[in-house]
Structure 1
Amino acid sequence: MLGLPQPDSCETSEGVPFLRLEDDATDVTLFLTAIYDSRLFERPPAKTSYEAVAGILRLSTKYDVQYLRQRAILHLDTLFPLTLEEFATRNELRTIPPHKDLVFDASLLAREVDVLWILPQVLYIISNHPVGRILDGFLWNDSVKEMAEVDRNACIHALKAINTTIPNSLMGCFAVGAIDDCQSPTRCPADRCDWGSLLWKALSQTSCEVCLNSIRSEYEAMREEFWKNLPEVFGMPELNTLKAMRDAALSTPVA
């Protein structure tokens, strides 16, 4: 940061020049606070906020502060994990509380800071919103923002595939996990799980054990297959490639 070019004439304090950053003031405050005392921005399972994660991730990427970038990535991973098992239980694991339109802003953040492996999960959640929400933009910090055109189009094009595949995978609507615009984030995910459990219970009362086990196996296999193909649905690289991208980002040496 100290190597950033500065004007020939600039303000000084006791002969020391001020370092001027052309960054958002809130982001700078969060970033410098985390550098000054990294205990204020610990790895998961420590709790944090989306504002802190986004601000620190932006500037740690820009100024190549890898240990903070990696911590921010790990927090984002609790919201948008790569594995189906973790995604289904993300409401229990998340370190960032729900926030209206968070997922829409996350779609922009993912491209801005090159964490593309979260995009299939992000866009899948967005695709569960009404089409109008996807097309009309969203309000974030008192400003109207829009998704990247490529991601907005990907969501619209993916709707048919999602709406035909998920119903066929048996109770797919109960597997979405926490929805960031949910009005009752502590109750609704549990209620959906309860409904799913009730449907399985009904099947167990009307089907023999052999048939029930077969249905369960087919259901899990279809869910896994859908998850495996989810990146392709949104025009992203295959799942193994995304995992490799994530592993590379988290294995970058920390100075």
Structure 2
Amino acid sequence: MKPTSHCILWSDDEGCVVIKAEQRKFCVSRHLLAFHSPIFASMFELATGNEVELLEDGHEEVTVFLRALLDPRYSAPLDFEDALGILRLAHKYDVPFLVERAIIHLESIYPTTLAHAVHPTILADVVGEFNFWAVDVFKRIGAVWLLPSAYFSISVEPWSNYRERFSLEIQEMALRVQVFNMQNSIRLLEVITSESLCDCRVECDYHKQKAIHLFIQNGARDFNFLRQWDALSWQKLDEALCAQCFQTVQLRYQQRLDEMWKELPGVCTMGSWEDLTKKRVDYFRDLHECVKQRSEAEYTRVGI
């Protein structure tokens, strides 16, 4: 028996069409593709034979896209690169339900809230060129609320080896966020070393400076204001400072962190997080409306 995934992408049933991407061919249901995508429906009407070639799409992206589109048991992709490919093609071929599913999956690594952004697992497996591709796709499809986190992800790592593959607009914004990140990382360290006001301030000031020295000495040279001071660093500082100084430092640190997170969309020239949240709501409302407007007459026209 053929594996389910293989049967989905290569079927000998009547009414199938061959989709070609690069050197890979897929034999899939013409009716299902046309049902979900008016773009495919139009392509089939114009095709002279039983094969349609997708000239600009890689076969790996097409594989995960078709599987997500045609297999009702296919859940959110495990690989974020797959999710990005599905998002790009779902938007290109006008498949709103897949656009929504892929965006929701990608929102787990490009958050819009500070509480989500500081979680240690966020962005752990997403590095390098992927973030550039994500920015490119988000800009193209209008998912602007994901851009500040995506630009921030670029800013915390070296990217000179592949930056020339992307537009100057993306590079310039990434540099803006990189400068913002570096400046604010330093400002957060200054919060840690702020002058103590307690009765034992000389001793507390000494321990603050020592904590920063050890922090830098242990290799904390990469700028990332969301990961600047981890749980172990806070624990050591708690043990070294008096209760008053520790509470004051922790409070000021969190306040400054909140302020910086609120500033991030403005640095990206995108207003505020509130503005972006409204755009997200409007975007998903438009997706849902698009699905509703695909009338029974249209579905009947393509043979469903």
TM-score scaled by length of structure 1: 0.73
Note the 1:60-139 alignment, pairs <5 A.
Answer: 60-89=90-119, 91=121, 97-98=125-126, 100-130=128-158, 133-134=159-160, 136-137=161-162
Shift of 1:244: 1.4
Contact 2:143 2:280 in 1 (8 A): yes
- Bigger-Rg structure (1/2): 2
Contact 1:124 1:155 in 2 (8 A): yes
Q: 1:91 to 1:197 in 2, by over 3 A?
A: closer
1:212 aligned onto 2:246: yes
Distance 1:111 1:221 in 2: 31
Unaligned runs of 5+ in 2: 1-37, 193-221, 293-304
Taking only aligned residues, the RMSD between alpha carbons, in angstroms, comes to: 2.9
Say whether residues 1:160 and 2:190 are aligned partners. no
- 1:142 corresponds to which residue? none
- Is 1:10 the counterpart of 2:48? The answer is yes
Find the counterpart in structure 2 of residue 148 from structure 1: 167
**In the alignment, is the contact (CA less than 8 A) between 2:177 and 2:267 conserved in 1?**
yes
Opposite residue 136 of structure 2, the aligned amino acid is: L
2:267 matched to 1:233? yes
Q: Secondary structure at the match of 2:271?
A: coil
For 1:28 and 1:234, how far apart are their aligned partners in 2?
32
Q: Distance in 2 between matches of 1:52 and 1:205?
A: 45
Which range moved further: 106-115 or 77-86? 106-115
Q: Which runs of 5+ in 1 are unaligned?
A: 13-17, 139-144, 178-191
- Shift of the alpha carbon at 1:243? 1.4
Kindly indicate whether the alpha-carbon contact (under 8 Å) linking 2:148 and 2:264 is maintained by their aligned counterparts in 1.
yes
SS of the aligned residue for 1:40 comes to: coil
The one-letter code matched in structure 2 to 1:206 is A
Q: Which residue of 1 aligns with 2:60?
A: 26
Higher relative contact order (CA 8 A, sep 6+): 1
CA gap of 1:176–1:146, structure 2 versus 1, over 3 A, is: farther
The answer (yes or no) to whether the contact 1:6–1:20 under 8 Å persists in 2 is no
User: How far apart are 1:215 and its partner, in Å?
Assistant: 1.2
Q: Please tell me the residue identity of whatever aligns with 1:102.
A: F
TM-score by length of 2: 0.62
Distance 1:3 1:239 in 2: 38
Q: Deviations over 1:145-177 (max 9, x none)?
A: 623211211222344332222221238956546
The question of whether the paired residues in 1 share the 8 Å contact of 2:129 and 2:162 is answered with: no
Structure 1 residues 169 and 97: CA distance shift in structure 2, 3 A? closer
Secondary structure at the aligned position of 2:107 is classed as helix
Closer/same/farther in 2, CA of residues 90 and 104 from structure 1, 3 Å limit: farther
Contact 1:79 1:90 (8 Å CA) reproduced = no
Alpha-carbon separation, structure 2, partners of 1:40 and 1:129: 33
Deviations 1:15-70 (CA, angstroms, capped at 9, x unpaired): xxx4454441333332221121132133xxxx521332122111221232221111
- Tell me the number of residue pairs that the alignment of Structure 1 and Structure 2 aligns: 219
